[in-house]
Amino acid sequence: MRHPLVFASATALLAFAAISPASADIPNPANSTVPPCYIGCPFGDIAFTVVVRDAANNPQPNSNVILDFSTCTGVTFCVTQEPGTTVNGKIASRVTDFLGVATFHLHSGGLCPGSTVHVFADGVPLALRPVVSTDQDGNLLVDATDATLANAKVGGSDLSADFDCDGDVDAADLAILSNHQSHACDLATPTLHRTWGQIKVLYR
């Protein structure tokens, strides 16, 4: 006759073995992918794509990805966001798809002076990233004032106008900003020198 204690121990081990593979599902920062910087636009036409993988490099579906802007005093969000994105205060979140991918098109403006956005997946820190914004002054409209502010950063150490995330602010960045002129929270307002077909969509 099998001893009850032995049977109970065996049952417990089997139960542990059944759930232990779940420990491999923890997001792994080294294998996950996060863009080199976060770029905001009130119109929400700039993608920020996070790919969550575990230690075995397996994609993690249904992972809750959080962009935490709590230390970013200058960043503001539009009331309307894309379906699937939740904004609570200074925190934005999305759930990864079956490939472990969460792509944000946040409608946001403003900068993050002296700080960074914190990227998490299921509570695991993945990365810290600098914040760049087409809306340099945080009024949720991209206009001539933002162009003036970005122009002043060309060749300098302030990379908050580095729209291609290549480590400097130059003519290429100003060209990107130009393609977002008149962008606001709910729509891009047409101007005399630009048509709808010229709206820039930047994926990184």
DSSP string across 44-96: --B-EEEE-B-TT--B-TT-EEEEE-TT-TT-EE-S---TT-EEETTEEEEE-
Instruction: Express as a percent the part of the chain with pLDDT over 70.
Output: 79
Confidence category of residue 68, pLDDT binned at 50, 70, 90: very high
Mean pLDDT of 45-74: 98
Mean pLDDT of 162-181: 98
Look at 12-16, 101-105, 118-122, 161-165 and tell me which has the smallest mean pLDDT: 12-16
User: Which strands form 64-68's sheet, in the order they lie side by side?
Assistant: 86-88, 91-95, 64-68, 117-121, 124-129
Instruction: Express as a percent the part of the chain with pLDDT over 90.
Output: 78
pLDDT above 90 for 24: no
Can you give the pLDDT at residue 1?
52
Supply the pTM of this predicted model: 0.80
> Mind listing the pLDDT tens digit for each residue in 110-132?
999 999 999 999 999 999 999 99
